[in-house]
Amino acid sequence: MRRLAMCIFAVTAALVATTAHAANADSLPKRETPIPATTNGVPHIQIGVEAVPELSAEMLRRVAQLPGVNLGATRISLPGATGFQIEDEMTLARPDVIVGGREFAHLHPDGSLHASLEPELARGAIAAGWAVAHPWADQRSGWEGFVMIYTPTTQKELEIVIQLVEQSYSFVTGQEIDD
């Protein structure tokens, strides 16, 4: 009986931990810092926002740890942006949501990102003040979740942004992230 109780506790703890780390449309907290202004066309950029270098470095460090992801010069964004490229050997569950090549997201020099999210999560991120729809989001089937995620300005915001990037990775690859 004790062994069964310990197993139930372990499974419950694992589910709680997974749920706490996974960003979803219903659980995203409201962004507390002001929502930046952005351009309405392409290039789609924030106006008057600068990156926090330490937070951008930490984001790149964490994204580089995702299985099958290489960081490099973007293939679809402005010069200076870092592309999050999925290796050729990895199967893509949703190739239709990638804007170019195997780049599922990229980090701009100002600390903002473009990423492909599951559409419901994209709507939740927009409603909670974490993102804005890309001007091309309604241009092609599959791009409904293509968003700009605003520059994180605190460690707390960075954790939410990284969760969104991880969800983008999972959406595009069909693979869940192990903690």
For the chain, the C-alpha Rg in angstroms (whole number) is 17
Domain ranges for the chain: 2-173
Q: What is the DSSP string of 65-90?
A: TSTTEEEEE-SSS-TT-EEEEEPTTS
Cβ–Cβ under 8 Å, residues 171 and 145:
yes
Indicate the CATH number for domain 2-173: 3.90.1150.30
pLDDT of residue 179: 66
What does the block give as tokens for 45?
Answer: 């950029």
User: Which of 153, 157, 161 shows the shortest CA–CA distance to 107?
Assistant: 161
What confidence score (pLDDT) does residue 12 get?
31
pLDDT in tens, 12-23: 333 333 333 356
The CA distance from 101 to 77, in Å, is: 12
Rounded to two decimals, what is the model's pTM?
0.85
* pLDDT tens, residue by residue, 59-71: 999 999 999 999 9
> Residue 42: phi, psi to the nearest 5?
-110, 130
Whether residue 173 has pLDDT greater than 80:
yes
Cα 72 off chain centre by: 17
